[in-house]
Amino acid sequence: MNGGPSGFNNAPVTRTIVIASALFTILFGIRGRSGNVGWSYQDIFKSLQIWKLIASIFAFTSTPELVFGIYLLYYFRVFERQIGSNKYSVFILFSVIVSLLLEVLALKLLKDPSLTILTSGPYGLIFSSFIPFYFDIPVSTRFRVFSLHFSDKTFIYLAGLQLLLSSWKKSMLPGICGILAGSLYRLNVLHVRRIKFPEFIASFFSRLSWPFTGRTSPTAPARNTLGSTPFHTARQVEGNFPASLSSTTDPPEDSVATLVSMGFERNSARQALIHARNDVNVATNILLESQAH
What are the tens digits of pLDDT across the range 41-82? 676 666 667 777 787 889 898 889 999 999 999 999 999 988
- Average pLDDT for 248-257: 78
Helix (H) or strand (E) holding 14: helix 12-30
% the chain with pLDDT above 70: 72
Would you place residue 5 in the very low, low, confident or very high pLDDT band (cuts 50, 70, 90)? low
In Å, what is the CA distance from 124 to each residue of 157, 172, 223, 230?
16, 11, 23, 27
Rounded distance between C-alpha atoms, residue 184 and residue 46, angstroms:
29
| pTM reported for the whole predicted model | 0.71
- Please state the separation of Cα 235 from the chain's center in Å: 30
Q: Is the pLDDT of residue 112 over 90?
A: no
Question: Rg (Cα) of the chain, in Å, rounded?
Answer: 20
CA distance 268 to 229: 14
Which letter, b or e, does each residue of 35-48 get, where b requires 16 or more Cβ atoms within 10 Å of its Cβ? eebbbbbebbeeee
Q: Which of 90, 74, 103 is nearest to 14 (CA)?
A: 74
Average pLDDT value for the chain: 78
- Between residues 6 and 165, the one the model is more confident about: 165
Q: How many CB atoms lie within 10 A of CB 6?
A: 8
- pLDDT band at residue 2, thresholds of 50, 70 and 90? low
Indicate whether 83 pLDDT > 80.
yes
